[in-house]
Structure 1
Amino acid sequence: MRIMGLDVGDKTIGVAISDPFGWTAQGIKTIKRTGIKKDINEIINIIDEYKVEKIVVGYPKNMNGTIGPRAQLVTDFCNKLKSRVNIDIELEDERLTTVAAERMLIDADVSRKKRKEVIDTIAATYILQTYLNRINK
């Protein structure tokens, strides 16, 4: 079963896909946000291409565990996506995933410009891999 991971931001959406066995996550792209309809259509195209059966979306809780405005934006996005796809959507705590992705890219000596281009895809991969590790225990 293929699972899609999403890191939803204001300007971009990072996308990752699991292998068919649901063991590993691979980043596949960063969607430049151009409007909710186009964004969701692009996600639907990826769902069809990879035959995705579940979606895991990073849920940006505050460090103290409370829900803030960013989390509400993600919830709103998920509700709009749910109205267009008949796939289970789960939220995965994403605290510090972008920080971890940034640190990994810096350690790999990736330029600042290139980091900006791939950070959301890497964050989506972290989100999905965290989910896969949890369900495969």
Structure 2
Amino acid sequence: MTEPLVPSVLALDIGKKRIGVAGCDRLGLFANGLMTIDRKSLPQVIDELQRLVDEREVTLLVIGMPYLMDGTVGAQAKNTRKTGKTIAKALALPIVWVDERLTSFAAEELLKAEHISPSRNKGAIDRKAAAIILQQWLDDRRLT
């Protein structure tokens, strides 16, 4: 019996300066950091993501929502929601929001374990955070 294929998914860790992007294998088992987009403008971000969407035949965006530690929506979460909705609309893709509290911290810890300096590799943190967000979504999806 073969495993069912999952839709091609991209996960985004949206920040003011950079956007971490992750994807998964077709079985939906493992998330991988794909790239970090340096934000110069929203149209530039959308163009870069559109190429990935076309290449990977993406059908869904999983976007990390940076809630405050008490679970409320702060300024960063509002900005992420607005940017995420704009990106999703431009790419004509649905969104699933995932709580991303502490993913950047977890990504930094993973880099340290690999003997990579987080302070010198901000883009790597963003890619790993996006992969953590996507892996969380994949794992939750399998459990339900």
TM-score between the two structures when normalised by the length of structure 2: 0.90
Change (3 A) 1:84 1:117: closer
- Tell me if 1:50 matches 2:59: no
Structure-to-structure mapping, 1:1-137, within 5 angstroms: 1-112=7-118, 114-137=120-143
Q: Give the share of equivalent positions with the same residue, in percent.
A: 35
Output the amino acid matched with 1:74.
T
Map of 2:4 onto structure 1? none
Whether contact under 8 Å (2:61, 2:88) holds in the other structure is no
Q: Distance in 1 between matches of 2:34 and 2:120?
A: 15
| Coordinate RMSD, CA, aligned | 1.2
| Equivalent position amino acid for 2:99 in 1 | D
After TM superposition, give the deviation of residue 24 of structure 1 in Å.
1.2
Do the aligned partners of 2:118 and 2:125 also contact (CA within 8 Å) in 1?
A: no
Counterparts in 2 of 1:87 and 1:112: CA distance versus 1, 3 Å: closer
Q: Which runs of 5+ in 1 are unaligned?
A: none
Larger strand share, 1 or 2: 1
**Where in structure 2 are there 5+ consecutive unaligned residues?**
1-6
The runs of at least 4 aligned residues of structure 1 exceeding 6 Å deviation read: none
2:140 and 2:50 mapped to 1: Cα distance?
Answer: 26
Distance in 1, Cα, partners of 2:30 & 2:94: 19
Distance 1:17 1:70, change over 3 A: same
Which amino acid counterpart does residue 106 of structure 2 have in structure 1? A
